[in-house]
Amino acid sequence: MKNKKRIVMDAEGIDRSLTRIAYEILEKNKGLNDLVLIGIRTGGVYLANRLREKIAAIEGVEVPMGILDITLYRDDLSRIDRKPRIGKTEIAFSLDNLKVVLVDDVLFTGRTIRAAMDALIDFGRPRLIQLAVLIDRGHRELPIRADFVGKNLPSSLWEDVSVNLTEKHGADEVVIEPEAGE
Amino acid sequence: MRWERKDMLGIRDLSREEILLILDTADSFIEISTREIKKVPTLRGKTVVNLFYEASTRTRTSFEIAGKRLSADTINISSTTSSVVKGETLIDTARNLEAMNPDVIVIRHSAAGAPHMLAALVKPPVINAGDGAHEHPTQALLDMMTIRSKKGRLENLRIAIVGDIAHSRVARSNIHGLKTMGAQVVVAGPATMLPRDMALMGVEVHSSLEKALTGADVVMMLRIQIERQQQNFFPSLREYARRFCLNGRNIGLAKEDVLVMHPGPINRGVEIAPEIADGPFSVILDQVTNGVAVRMALLYLLTGGRGF
């Protein structure tokens, strides 16, 4: 059954995980003081938005949010032939002395997060950076670990893990399937 | 849509999709110039050579800043301070530059087609920064970016280009680009400065400023090259200004929310009155800001990996 598409998390599962992560963020940071959420394009932006709504529902306060496109900080740009499209980065405030929670959908090799941290430092000197992800699928290539994880999903390197979200894909689900073209 | 070209030689060759890709990429680059640390590491270790055989401040500086904000090393070579004065040919200069392994060559030359010849000769991507009276693609791209960001679109806008159309590479590149993007282009200038076959390019031709201005969404005033006055294209600067200077009176013929553009450097009181150049309709300085973003976008798109 390994070569078939499997749904490993449904809409309710995603929602419960995000609720728990929202509480964990509040607990670990002892409230909302100086806290900001930064979503990594594109999946992380939708998740950061939802975490922001959940935090607002719990605490009655909207935390500031920013959007980060990490393309210009990738470590493989000089190796690929055709350049990826660049999205807009929207961080309208200095990150000096703020507690930044970086949000992404899937944590895999860790290279995206490395690039994201480099980018964040260009917007000031945050007091700390934490990482929240919906899925941790393992296979790290850099010494990076998430502070908040929705689900640990052991996967093989020959599988694709996708987080589909209503905002972009019409439905909430996490899917694991054999790599395209295999 | 992915970028497939090695070089950026002219707007005429570009499809609508390619222009949109450049403009969208440039829109994303705008933000970098507003940061406190105006630099991203994207082109670290790459070398951009600016080879300028004609005087330029704006375009050369703009390419230099664009390269630097992407962390490339930029080197400027201008004809007056290089071996060109010792009689070296363009081909020899290019071969020698290539031997130093640059990753992009930006060239401005008074001869039309010089960038094309260079591009066929050398391995790195070549960007045309203006060749004779032929094309100035990065200027047209920054103009289209400016119009799109202010008006939200390019389609069906009435755009008047006024001045020495015949000798203007800015006009030529803009006409190609704007037509491709679905805008309506109107040109005006003294009859001696209008190319004969202009209507073949699908533009409306007038010899009066007022007719071109009427109902315009955008007015692009071209610089009168004062050095051309000796060639008797017009009787005197005063006469030119009397008929073709954009001023507080004739601007009223254009739409209420008209944009006034100029590629610079401006001759105050010749093609544009100071109160218009500095007035509320003017987006001349936005053009300069957007120029850096457009050039960053091209440097990003053209510097591929293993080459083409």
pLDDT in tens, B197-213: 888 889 999 999 999 99
Nearest CB partner across the interface for A82, out of B3, B25, B41: B3
A118 lies within 8 A of chain B by CB: yes
**How close, in Å, is residue A1 to chain B by CA atoms?**
36
Mean pLDDT of the B111-125 span: 95
Contact residues, chain B, for A79 at CB < 8 Å: 305-306
Q: Do B41 and A72 touch (CB under 8 A)?
A: yes
Per-residue pLDDT band for A181 (boundaries 50, 70, 90) equals: low
Q: Do A122 and B39 touch (CB under 8 A)?
A: yes
Residue type, B193: M
Supply the pLDDT for residue B308: 42
* Cβ atoms of residues B87 and B77 within 8 Å: no
The residue in chain A having the minimum alpha-carbon distance to the alpha carbon of residue B103 is A78
A4 lies within 8 A of chain B by CB: no
Identify the sign of the CA torsion B122, B125, B130, B136.
positive
**How close, in Å, is residue A92 to chain B by CA atoms?**
9
Q: Provide, rounded to the nearest whole percent, the portion of chain B with pLDDT above 70.
A: 96
Chain B interface test: which of A72, A75, A118 (most B C-beta within 10 Å): A72
Per-residue pLDDT band for B306 (boundaries 50, 70, 90) equals: very low
Mean pLDDT of the B248-263 span: 97
Nearest CB partner across the interface for B42, out of A72, A80, A123: A72
Q: What are the angstrom distances between the C-alpha of B246 and each of A118, B124, B267, B272?
A: 48, 42, 11, 5
> Where is mean pLDDT largest: A154-158, B130-134, B233-237?
B130-134
Q: Do B31 and A88 touch (CB under 8 A)?
A: yes
Burial of A126 (0-12, 13-18, 19+ CB in 10 A): buried
Mean pLDDT of the B49-78 span: 94
Burial of B261 (0-12, 13-18, 19+ CB in 10 A): buried
How many CB pairs below 8 A link A and B?
59
Chain B residues at the A interface, defined by Cβ less than 8 Å, are 2-4, 21, 24-25, 27-29, 31-32, 35-37, 39-42, 45-46, 70, 300-301, 303-306, 308
The residue in chain A having the minimum alpha-carbon distance to the alpha carbon of residue B297 is A86
Identify the sign of the CA torsion B292, A95, A109, B72.
positive
Q: Do A88 and B46 touch (CB under 8 A)?
A: no
pLDDT in tens, A13-67: 999 999 999 999 999 999 999 999 999 999 999 999 999 999 999 999 999 999 9
Convert chain B into a string of H (helix), E (strand) and C (coil).
CCCCCCCECCCCCCCHHHHHHHHHHHHHHHHHHHCCCCCCCCCCCCEEEEEECCCCCHHHHHHHHHHHHCCCEEEEEEHHHCHHHHCCCHHHHHHHHHCCCCCEEEEEECCCCHHHHHHHHCCCCEEEEEECCCECHHHHHHHHHHHHHHHCCCCCCEEEEECCCCCCHHHHHHHHHHHHCCCEEEEECCHHHCCCCHHHHCCEEECCHHHHHCCCCEEEECCCCHHHHHHCCCCCHHHHHHHHCECCCHHHHCCCCCEEECCCCCCECCCECHHHHCCCCECHHHHHHHHHHHHHHHHHHHCCCCCC
- For chain B, the average pLDDT equals 93
* Cβ atoms of residues A121 and A1 within 8 Å: no
Nearest CB partner across the interface for B25, out of A78, A86, A123: A86
**How close, in Å, is residue A73 to chain B by CA atoms?**
6
Nearest CB partner across the interface for B42, out of A77, A85, A123: A77
Per-residue pLDDT band for A82 (boundaries 50, 70, 90) equals: confident
Nearest CB partner across the interface for B305, out of A79, A119, A122: A79
Q: Does the pLDDT value for residue A78 go beyond 90?
A: no
Residue A162 is encoded by which pair of tokens?
């996708």
A82 lies within 8 A of chain B by CB: yes
**How close, in Å, is residue A45 to chain B by CA atoms?**
16
Q: Do B304 and A124 touch (CB under 8 A)?
A: no
Q: Does the pLDDT value for residue A1 go beyond 70?
A: no
**How close, in Å, is residue A116 to chain B by CA atoms?**
12
The residue in chain A having the minimum alpha-carbon distance to the alpha carbon of residue B41 is A73
Q: Do A80 and B305 touch (CB under 8 A)?
A: yes
Nearest CB partner across the interface for A72, out of B2, B40, B301: B40
Pairing of strands A128-136, B259-261: unpaired
A3 lies within 8 A of chain B by CB: no
